[in-house]
A = this chain, B = another copy of it.
Amino acid sequence: MWLQELKKLVIFGVGLIGGSVALALKRAKVAPHIIGVGRSGASLQAALDLGVIDAVETDPAKAIADADMVMIAAPVAQTSDILKAIAPHLGPDTIITDVGSTKSDVIQHAALLGKNAVQFVPGHPIAGAEKSGVGSARADLFDGKNVVLTPTENTNPQALEAVYKLWGSAGARVCEMSASNHDGIFAAVSHLPHLLAFALVDEIASRPNAAQLFDFAAGGFRDFTRIAGSSPEMWRDISLANRESLLSELSAYQAELVKLKTLLENLDGAGLQALFERASLARNEWVSAQKLR
Contact = CB atoms under 8 A, between A and B. Distances in A.
A216 B127 CA distance: 11
Nearest to A277: B232
Contact of A200 (B193, B233, B246, B261): B193
A240 interface: yes
Interface residues of A, number: 84
How many copies are assembled? 2
B214 A193 contact: no
A212 interface: yes
Nearest to A274: B232
Interface string A237-281: 001100100110010111011001100110101001101111110
A195 interface: yes
Interface stretch (A23-31, A40-48, A54-62, A182-190): A182-190
Nearest to A192: B200
B279 A264 contact: no
| A interface SS class | helix
Contacts of A232: 273, 276-277, 279-280
Given A200-B196, A201-B279, A240-B269, A216 B289 contact: no
A193 B225 CA distance: 9
B239 A250 contact: no
Given A216-B126, A282-B210, A286-B217, A240 B203 contact: no
A197 interface: yes
Contacts of A200: 192-193, 196, 253, 256, 279
Contacts of A212: 185
Contact of A278 (B193, B194, B202, B229): B202
A205 interface: yes
B224 A197 contact: yes
A198 B279 contact: yes
6 closest pairs, A vs B, by CB?
Answer: A232-B276, A205-B282, A201-B279, A189-B217, A236-B273, A198-B279
Given A201-B283, A214-B289, A233-B273, 6 more contacts: A185-B216, A190-B221, A193-B220, A201-B278, A232-B273, A253-B257
27 contacts: A128-B218, A128-B220, A185-B212, A185-B213, A189-B204, A189-B217, A190-B217, A193-B221, A195-B260, A196-B224, A196-B257, A201-B279, A202-B256, A202-B278, A202-B279, A204-B282, A214-B289, A220-B227, A222-B290, A225-B283, A231-B280, A232-B273, A236-B269, A236-B272, A250-B260, A253-B257, A257-B257
